[in-house]
Structure 1
Amino acid sequence: MPRMSSGAAVRVTRGQRLGEFVEAVIAPAARRRGLAATTLIRDWPLVVGERLALRCQPVRVSFAPGRQSGGTLVLHAAASAALDLQFSERQVVERVNAHYGYAAVARLRIVQAPPLRPPPPRRRRPARPDDAELARLSEATAEITDPVLAAALLRLGCAIAVADRTGASGTGTREAGR
């Protein structure tokens, strides 16, 4: 069973979703950085909106000694987002405090550093027509002498066949062309 640096064990079962134990995994690291409520990291796009969340990220909250409110939220932001964050500081502070449920943050400190980007979404492999449809399309393009044109028409025919099969038609019905 994997153990975290704090000694707490994380047990993963087969049918369990990742979101069910993310909090336990990131909590110790977030506490070391001053983010006691790790939900701020997880819900950052919901707190500040997708547009700002892609351009900045929370790093830590620092408080005066002995206090747990009126702190400074340190954000890493792209250079292009720093000015936008300065102008919308009041709204960001209000949204963060609404997320925490009390006046935890009084001001922002913006550090111009590139925020970590989430990995790009994986592209799906394009669907292929079945073997019979592919054979029919290959036969239909066999008489074309230009190989580039034949390949382009074969790709077009495959795309149309897949779109017809999945119901993802573009501009209208294709029945008139058959």
Structure 2
Amino acid sequence: MTPHQIVQMIFDVYNKVGHRQYGESVTELEHALQTATFAMQFNSSDAVVVASLLHDYGHLQHDEGEDVASHGVDMRHEDLGVIKLTSFFGPEILEPIRLHVAAKRYLCHKSKTYIDGLSPASLLSLEIQGGPMSSREGAEFESNPYYKSAVELRRFDDMGKVSGMKTPTLESFYSLVLSFVVK
């Protein structure tokens, strides 16, 4: 596959199943666009913007229906997304995606007030994903060179749940995503 075909394939998945409800007041596609938009607005690196756009790609890879967490199921979407994207991107994209669930657990460990800001759906998934990290898990998380990017992505992930928010189109991210495809 050429780099253009890779990006088109990824975008086709968003266009085909991105209408699924995210478990919040937005669809999967709206959530992806909002998360990436917040990353841009906060002047994050281009890699964090792309990782923010693609961070929940794993949710689009299963046929378990919408909002599976409400049924107590952890689809390990962060791992599924990385598995699907691993041939196409480097660690600056893949690691924040892989770590964004762990980053929520980390932030809950580091900041007791962080939990208070989580949406009901995020609280439910936190419970399913293992709850706040222990001190040992937190130290291990911090040893990953991409942990700060993952925490940054996580904060944008938490913000990207605004009903009716105006964002750039998916296609407006095409060139940026293309620039990170491993050739």
Scaled by the length of structure 2, what TM-score is found? 0.29
Q: What TM-score do the two structures reach when normalised by structure 1?
A: 0.30
Larger strand proportion of the pair: 1
Structure showing greater Rg: 1
Higher relative CO (Cα under 8 Å, sequence separation at least 6) belongs to 2
- Greater percentage in helix: 2
